Every structure is written in C-alpha cells, then in structure tokens.
Structure 1
C-alpha cells in the first residue's frame, strides 16, 4: 500500500468515461455533511458492501478527536491506508462497495483512488451554516462541533480531473442517494450482490 505523497500529487491515471460503472464509491465531505447516512443508503440501494471509514480509526485517534484536537497527516496516514486496504480487498474479490470517508485533501483521495477507474468519488457539498446546525443536533459522535472550522480549512474540493460526482446535502439522504445512482447510470442491474458491477 503506498504512503501519502510527500510533496506534490502524482499525475492521475486516465479516468473512466462518464458512463462507465464504478465498483467502489467513496462518499466524501466534511464532518456533518451526511457521509455515513448517504453512503449507507447508496449501499442498500445498490446491494453493495458498506463500511463507515470512521470505524477504521484507532481508539487513540478517536480519543484525540473527542477531546477536540484535529488529526494531523501523521495520524491520518494509517487510517487512510486502512480505508484503501478495504477498497483494494473489495476490488480483488470482484465485489462492489461504498465507503464513507472524509477524504478532505487531494493527497488523501489519491491514496484511496490510486488511479483506479473503478473507484469514484461522491462529494457531499453543503454550507458551513447548514452543517454546523446538523452537528449541533446530533449526539454521541466523537467529532465535536468545534472541529468544524478545521474540517473546512483542510477541505480541498475535488479538481475537475478527479471526476467526482458533486451533490448538495439539502435533500433527504435517500433522495441524495437516488440522485447519485441516476448520475452514475447505476440502476436495478447493479443490485447483484456486489459482483460484476
């Protein structure tokens, strides 16, 4: 598994055409944008495997965030490798999947996508005001509201060559998932147990 790029990001491999069917969706965005919920809706809608990237954080990193301290790149590197390993395992097994992962910086996304046309980004894009309101209303999550500024400071929206699907977060999660499915041209034929997508 490759490490995070030390300097500039490598040139991306050519992306699949718009109508190509991805086998892995990485649902990205800042904390509170609805990644986990939308990703779970997508996985259920498509019949694909699902993992919440937050579940792959180490206990130490969860404790650090719960205490109000943002993770640095050294903290994130093993986490991103774990998410990338999950993606690689699905592809190696010929399975499809959806992962929720903040993937805020381009270098992080390059680690996850690794030039593979089967992996497609879905960016949940929303205003800071709306996301702050949502975070204030949720309970039991380890990411406190005071880290939202650091999330937006770290966010590097996907570049055009990353070919991300960008969707707003105002609609209900199932409606957002349906919009993503439509944008990707994925339909009932994708619900094949996650194989051959």
Structure 2
C-alpha cells in the first residue's frame, strides 16, 4: 500500500508522513525531493508553479508509486497533490493507494509557514496554494491543529492501521 499525505504548504506533510512511516515500519518518500531544480527555483522566488511545471514532477512520483506497488513495498509519500487531476494521476491502483488530506484553518497554516526555516516555499505562496486546492472527497481528512502524535494516531485509526 502507498499512503499519500497531501495538503497545502505548512500543513505538516513531511513531519506527519515521516512519523507515520516510522510508526508503520514503512518507507518514507518526500515528494519535494523529486521536483526539478527549475521548479524549486521558481517557488523560492515566489512564483507559483503551473500545471505544466508540475507535470514532470507528478510523472516521476507516479513512477515511484508504481515501482513500490510492483515490488510489494509499503510506503508513505508526502505530496501536495492539490488538484483532483494530480490525485487521479497518482492513484495508479485505487485499491492500494490511500489518500490523507491534512488541513487546518488558514491562519494556523500561515503561522506555521511564518516560523518555518530552511524550506524553499515562502509564506507569500500560501494564497496560491489555497486557490489551487480542490478539497479531496476521496481522502481521509485529518485536522493537524493537534500535535503530530495525535494526528498520526488519527490517521492510523481512520485507515484501520
């Protein structure tokens, strides 16, 4: 199974994804690590990515998911996947790809981004993230306002893990 942790920047995808993977003994994949350098440079400069910018990245993530499933490897992937079309591309096997949508009120996310250091995504792009977001109906929706341990427990409970 591959669990994809999605949401806007600052929702905690990496933190929660790593903890979830560790608690399950699964592999963790950080979607941001697979962005082409040109995408990272655009985001660092405060320029929102277009669908065209995201396509090579999404295709690489699709490949990683397909490879993991073909090997019978369980994994957790952190990936924004803000649009329905992105999620459709990454759902290579609906019986073995599960979605978790991390959400919180916008002001909570903005506060987290304002205090985050060492990441290429600036606070100024948060608005474009919320504009692009198509809230998933197919995902387990988890409020990330509580601490990470509570969020991981909610995910495990919600997915029956």
Q: Secondary structure at the match of 1:157?
A: coil
Structure-2 separation of matches of 1:172 and 1:55? 25
Is residue 182 of structure 1 aligned with residue 157 of structure 2? Answer: yes
Q: Secondary structure at the match of 2:28?
A: strand
Aligned position for 2:105:
127
1:16-39 per-residue CA deviation (whole Å, 9 max, x = no partner) reads xxxxxxx11000000000001000
Aligned position for 1:70:
48
Structure-1 separation of matches of 2:142 and 2:61? 22
Greater alpha carbon shift after TM alignment, 80-89 vs 111-120: 111-120
Aligned runs of 1:89-108 on 2, under 5 Å? 89-108=67-86
Gaps of 5+ in 2: none
Instruction: Report the CA distance between 1:123 and its aligned residue.
Output: 0.2
Structure-2 separation of matches of 1:36 and 1:76? 19
Instruction: Report the CA distance between 1:114 and its aligned residue.
Output: 3.1
Aligned position for 1:85:
63
Alignment size in residue pairs: 161
Report the aligned-residue RMSD.
0.8
**TM-score between the two structures when normalised by the length of structure 1:** 0.80
**TM-score between the two structures when normalised by the length of structure 2:** 0.98
Aligned runs of 1:1-16 on 2, under 5 Å? none
Structure with the larger helix share: 2
Runs of 4+ in 1 over 4 A off after TM superposition: none
Gaps of 5+ in 1: 1-22, 187-197
Structure-1 separation of matches of 2:111 and 2:128? 16
Match of 1:144 among 102, 119, 122: 122
